[in-house]
Amino acid sequence: MVAPPDNDILWARGLHHSYGTGTALAGVSLGVREGEILAVTGPRGSGKTTLLRCLSAQLAPSEGEVWFNSSLVHTLAARHRERLRLDRFGWIDTQPHLVAELTAGENAALPLLLRGEGGRAARNTAAEWLDRLDVGDCARRRPAQLDQSQRQRVAIARALATTPQVLFADEPTAPLHRADATQVLRTLTTAARSHQITVVLATHDPEATSLADRTVALLDGRRSSGGAVSAPDAESRAACSLSV
Amino acid code (one letter) for 234? A
Q: Which residue lies nearer to ligand ATP by CB, 87 or 93?
A: 93
Q: Which residue lies nearer to ligand ATP by CB, 176 or 244?
A: 176
Least distance from C-beta 216 to ligand ATP, angstroms?
12
Q: Which residue lies nearer to ligand ATP by CB, 190 or 209?
A: 209
Pairing of β 214-219 and β 63-68: unpaired
Q: Which residue lies nearer to ligand ATP by CB, 64 or 111?
A: 64
Least distance from C-beta 185 to ligand ATP, angstroms?
17
Q: Is 27 helix (H, G, I), strand (E, B) or coil?
A: strand
- Measured distance CA(4)–CA(177) in Å, rounded: 39
Contact positions vs ligand ATP (CB under 6 A): 19, 22, 24, 42, 44-50
Q: Which residue lies nearer to ligand ATP by CB, 20 or 116?
A: 20
Which residues are registered as beta bridge partners of 12?
30, 66
Amino acid code (one letter) for 237? R
Least distance from C-beta 117 to ligand ATP, angstroms?
32
Least distance from C-beta 41 to ligand ATP, angstroms?
9
Extended strands (E) in 71-133: 71-72, 89-92
Least distance from C-beta 225 to ligand ATP, angstroms?
17
Question: Sheet containing 8-19: which strands, arranged edge to edge?
Answer: 22-33, 8-19, 63-68, 71-72
Least distance from C-beta 181 to ligand ATP, angstroms?
16
Is-contact 39 203, C-beta < 8 A? yes
**Helix and strand tally (H, E) in the chain?**
8, 10
Q: Which residue lies nearer to ligand ATP by CB, 49 or 187?
A: 49
List the one residue out of 191, 187, 175 whose CA is nearest residue 97: 175
